[in-house]
Amino acid sequence: MNEPRHAATPPSRLSRAALAGVLAALAILAARDLVKLNAGVSWHRMIDLSVFYCAGSAAAGGADPYASEPVRACEHAFNSGGQWDDPHFAMLVPQPPYDILGFELLPRVGPLAAKRLAAVAITAAVVATALALADLGIPLWAALAALALSDWFVSVFNGQIYAFPLACAALAAACLHRGRDAAAGVFAALCTIEPQLGAAIACGVLLLMPRARLALLATAAAMFFAGAAALGPHAWIEWATRVIPLEARAEAQFWPQYSLTSVAAAVGVPVPVALALGTASSVAILVVALYLAAKLIRRYGRPEFAVLVPAAFAPLGGTFVHLAAIAAAVPLALTLPSLSRQSASRADWRLAAIAVLLAIPWLFAQSMKPLFFSSLLAAVVVVWQLRVAPRPAAGICVATAALLYALALHTPPPLTVAAFASASSSALHLDSTQFDPWREAAKVPTWTGLIALLAAALWMARRPAEAEASS
């Protein structure tokens, strides 16, 4: 995946002016369209935040945060419209007990202030992630552009907490890069506030970074006992034996899912079998990721791969994978082009194209047409900052615009309230009669980016050192 070396030539004044004009025009158009979204771009929605808010409220009042009541009543006071028109509908929190401790702070400030506080905290986490990636040698503007939609917008729109473990992962990688292994162990343990991502990262650091093990285990133990002390030991049993299995079953046929389980269920595989396939894939991909991380560490002398590789492939396969989790692959997707530039003046355009695929939340861009120029702006900034040669850079941007436009032309109709049902798990279920192939088509660019990233990382790990030196 390496291109012939060419002598670096400084861009002409004309090309710099043209690029500045394109960036300025896209920024103006993106800002105009984002203003049109109004509630969609700020803290006015944040539906998932009600789950955390109400679980924290229940725990603060001495109730079980994993039970339907009083969580259901709290959520209906927090939200209105859509599925909330069903008085029996509720979503239960799937987070581990130590997360609930943090959620207890939200009810103290009230719903509106909690939304604003969450928006500010998510923004700070995304900026921290970009700064940590810049410490790894990734251009800051490339990191900000790639995270702006995949991490910030998705997290703020839905009120999710993925931005925080992603920030911890980036900080852990930066600490490993600087030889601060103990601090990396602490941040790796903190990543488990989202267990699907954090477990893979913790395994990578635990197995591959011996000097970080003690700090990681100590932090994990402290988090475990803090959760048990606050909610009682039974909370851990309830979470592991009831909440997680119910969450996995509920998400198996929920349309925004990116998991292997959801794909299998969508094509008619029985849900129990689909869940078994998703679980097996998680284990298999983790083994591959750990092997790949070890190879890349030896190949490039970059210990941060112990974090970046497991994080990148945690969203590949699995039983339930939310759109916000895809941003965990962005740091590795930005790192590989930087490595390919170590011996050449230009980054490999194919690696940059993978970063663009993962930087755009295609499912959102399909249903929210005002995201067109924001997505295109992110693509332009990424290929520009990664120093892709002009012709392939233009090709990537044109292809991105064409794909965005094609998906926006085929926006499925909104799901009706009848598409959601309250089951014993009190979670979302998709009515299979409302399955739409165009919704699945919008996931293909993301799946393609994840699979291509895995292939690229395997190729770079196996490439002989002399091949890079002579390229």
Q: Is the pLDDT confidence value at 436 over 80?
A: no
* pLDDT digits 0-9 by tens, 137-154: 999 999 999 999 999 999
Interhelix angle 372-385/140-147, nearest 10 degrees: 150
Higher pLDDT, 358 or 244: 358
Spatial distance between the Cα atoms of 446 and 258, rounded to a whole number of angstroms: 9
Tell whether the model's pLDDT for residue 291 goes beyond 70.
yes
> CB–CB of 197/191 below 8 Å?
yes
Please state whether 317 falls in left (phi above 0), alpha (psi between -120 and 50) or beta.
left
DSSP state at residue 20? H
For the CA atoms of 188, 161, 122, 331, what is the dihedral angle to 10 degrees? 50
Instruction: Rank 59-73, 291-305, 331-345 by mean pLDDT and report only the highest.
Output: 291-305
pLDDT level of residue 419 (50, 70, 90 thresholds): very low
Q: Within 13 Å of residue 221, how many CA atoms lie on the same side as its CB?
A: 6
Q: Which two tokens stand for residue 313?
A: 């492939």
Distances (CA, A) of 364 to 80, 344, 372, 442, 453: 21, 36, 10, 9, 21
pLDDT at 9: 47
Per residue in 236-288, pLDDT (tens digit) is 999 999 998 888 888 887 778 899 998 898 888 998 999 999 999 999 999 99
Report residue 76: phi and psi, to 5°: -70, -25
pLDDT class of 440 with cuts at 50, 70, 90: confident
Higher confidence at residue 303 or residue 367? 303
Over the stretch 217-242, which tens digit does the pLDDT of each residue have? 999 999 999 999 989 999 999 999 99
User: 3-state SS of the chain: helix, strand, coil percent to 5?
Assistant: 75, 0, 25
User: Sorting pLDDT into bands at 50, 70 and 90, what band is 434?
Assistant: low
User: For position 180, what pLDDT does the model report?
Assistant: 97
Q: Write the pLDDT tens digit of every residue in 16-57.
A: 778 888 889 989 988 888 887 765 554 457 888 989 999 999
